[in-house]
C-alpha cells in the first residue's frame, strides 16, 4: 500500500473511531465544525484570527458564527475603537456548552485510553505528538519571495535580531546580503509561511560562475522550532540551488549557534577552512549537490 493510501486509511479509521461523521459531535446537538469554532472562541477571539487559525473560507465561517449566534451561544460585535474588526465571545450559555463539550471529549479520551496499559498509553501519546509535529511541518509553505517584500524584510530583520541576541560580537543590519544578490539569477530568498505568518527563511546566493553557491541567513521563528523546519528549509535551498545549476553549497556559522552546527553536519555538510573574512563565521562547511 502506498504512503498516500496508508494516510487515507488512517484518516478514515480515526474519524469514524472518535465520532466525527455525525451531526451530533460528542453526542451534543451540533456538528464538529460548530463545536470547534466554539472551542476556538474560548474567552474571546478576533474573527480574522479565527479564520486564519482554522483556515476557513470567510463565507463558511460567517455561516458557522450566525448559527452559533442563533443558538444563543456567542455574540459577534465590532471591536471597541475599530469597527472594521469583529470579535466573537461566548455567552453564559456558550460557556456552559463549551464546558459540557470539554467534559464529553475528556470522557471519550479516557474511555479509549483505559483499554491500554500505561506503557501502551505512553507510546500512543508519544506517537500522536510525533504525528502532530510532522503534520505541522507538512502544512508549512516554503516558497521564493521577493527580497524587498515586507515578509522578506521582516524575516531578515528577525534573523539580525537573533544574531544580536546570541553572538557575542553583535550584529549590524548592514551585514545582511543585498537584495539584488538574493534575486534570480544571482540568488533567491525562501520564506516559510504558516497560517499567513512567516515562520522561517533561508537565503541563497551565487558565489562564483563555477557553480558554487552559499546559504545565508537561516532563521526559524522560536515557536516553530523542534519540528524539523530548519532541515526542510535547508533541503529546499539545496533543491533550488541544484535547479539553478549549482553543484556545491557553502555556508558558515557561529560557535554560539550549536543547533545550527549539529543540523549542518546531519545534513551532510563537511567542515572546510573559512572561505571569507566574515567575523561571525567560526565554522565553514561545504556540500556537493546532486544535479541532473
pLDDT, one tens digit per residue, over 142-183 is 999 999 999 999 999 999 999 999 999 999 999 999 999 999
Q: Which residue has the cell 456558550?
A: 94
Q: What is the pLDDT of residue 18?
A: 77
pLDDT of 74 higher than 70? yes
| Residue 20: pLDDT band with limits 50, 70, 90 | confident
Predicted pLDDT at 145: 97
For the chain, the average pLDDT equals 92
Instruction: Please give the backbone phi and psi of residue 16, each rounded to the nearest 5 degrees, phi first.
Output: -70, -40
Res 23 pLDDT > 90: no
| Straight-line distance from the first to the last Cα atom of the chain, in angstroms, rounded to the nearest whole number | 30
- pLDDT computed for residue 277 by the predictor: 86
Residues 6+ apart with CB under 8 A from 55: 195
Question: Average pLDDT in the 88-95 region?
Answer: 95
pLDDT in tens, 116-135: 999 999 999 999 999 999 99
Average pLDDT over residues 92-103: 94
* pLDDT exceeds 70 at position 188: yes
Higher pLDDT, 231 or 292: 231
pLDDT at 210: 83
pLDDT the model gives residue 198: 95
Share of the chain above pLDDT 90, in %: 77
| pLDDT of 134 | 96
The mean pLDDT of 188-213, rounded to a whole number, is: 93
pTM of the predicted protein model? 0.86
Angle at 244 between CA 240 and CA 245, to 5 degrees: 120
Q: Give the three cell numbers for residue 5.
A: 493510501
pLDDT > 90? residue 3: yes
pLDDT band at 292 (very low <50, low <70, confident <90, very high): low
DSSP three-state, residue 222:
helix
Q: Nearest to residue 254, comparing CAs of 237, 228, 279, 288?
A: 279
pLDDT at 271: 96
pLDDT at 65 over 70: yes
Alpha-carbon torsion, ordered 278, 279, 280, 286, to 10 deg? 40
* Beta bridge mates, 283: 253
In angstroms, rounded to a whole number, what is the distance separating the alpha carbons of residues 173 and 145? Answer: 19
Tens digits of residue pLDDT in 217-248: 999 999 999 999 999 999 999 999 999 999 99
pLDDT band at 43 (very low <50, low <70, confident <90, very high): confident
Percent of the chain with pLDDT over 70: 99
Q: What is the pLDDT of residue 162?
A: 95
| Cβ–Cβ under 8 Å, residues 190 and 144 | yes
The per-residue pLDDT for 290 is 83
Q: In the chain, count of helices (H) and strands (E)?
A: 9, 10
Q: Which pLDDT score, from 0 to 100, does residue 230 have?
A: 97
Q: What span, in angstroms and rounded, lies between the C-alpha atoms of 42 and 89? A: 7
3-state helix, strand, coil in the chain (%, to 5): 50, 20, 30
225 — alpha (psi -120 to 50), left (phi > 0) or beta? beta
Amino acid at each position: 500500500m502506498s504512503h498516500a493510501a496508508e494516510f487515507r486509511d488512517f484518516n478514515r479509521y480515526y474519524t469514524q473511531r472518535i465520532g466525527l461523521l455525525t451531526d451530533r459531535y460528542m453526542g451534543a446537538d451540533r456538528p464538529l465544525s460548530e463545536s470547534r469554532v466554539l472551542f476556538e472562541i474560548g474567552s474571546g477571539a478576533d474573527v480574522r484570527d479565527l479564520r486564519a487559525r482554522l483556515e476557513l473560507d470567510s463565507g463558511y465561517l460567517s455561516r458557522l458564527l450566525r448559527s452559533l449566534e442563533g443558538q444563543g451561544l456567542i455574540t459577534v460585535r465590532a471591536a471597541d475603537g475599530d469597527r472594521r474588526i469583529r470579535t466573537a465571545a461566548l455567552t453564559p450559555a456558550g460557556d456552559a456548552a463549551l464546558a459540557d463539550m470539554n467534559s464529553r471529549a475528556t470522557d471519550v479520551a479516557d474511555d479509549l485510553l483505559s483499554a491500554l496499559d500505561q506503557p501502551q498509553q505512553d507510546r500512543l501519546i508519544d506517537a500522536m505528538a510525533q504525528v502532530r509535529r510532522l503534520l505541522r511541518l507538512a502544512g508549512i509553505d516554503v516558497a521564493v519571495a521577493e527580497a524587498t517584500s515586507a515578509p522578506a524584510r521582516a524575516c531578515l530583520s528577525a534573523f539580525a535580531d537573533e544574531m544580536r541576541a546570541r553572538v557575542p560580537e553583535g550584529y549590524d543590519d548592514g551585514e545582511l546580503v543585498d537584495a539584488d544578490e538574493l534575486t534570480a539569477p544571482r540568488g533567491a530568498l525562501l520564506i516559510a509561511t504558516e497560517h499567513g505568518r512567516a515562520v522561517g527563511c533561508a537565503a541563497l546566493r551565487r558565489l562564483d560562475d563555477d557553480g558554487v553557491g552559499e546559504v545565508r541567513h537561516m532563521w526559524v521563528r522560536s515557536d516553530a522550532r523542534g519540528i524539523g523546519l530548519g532541515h526542510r528549509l535547508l533541503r529546499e535551498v539545496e533543491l533550488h540551488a541544484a535547479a539553478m545549476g549549482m553543484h556545491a553549497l557553502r555556508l558558515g556559522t557561529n560557535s554560539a549557534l550549536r543547533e545550527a552546527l549539529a543540523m549542518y553536519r546531519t545534513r551532510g555538510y563537511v567542515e572546510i577552512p573559512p572561505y571569507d573574512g566574515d567575523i561571525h563565521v567560526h565554522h565553514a562547511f561545504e556540500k556537493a549537490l546532486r544535479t541532473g
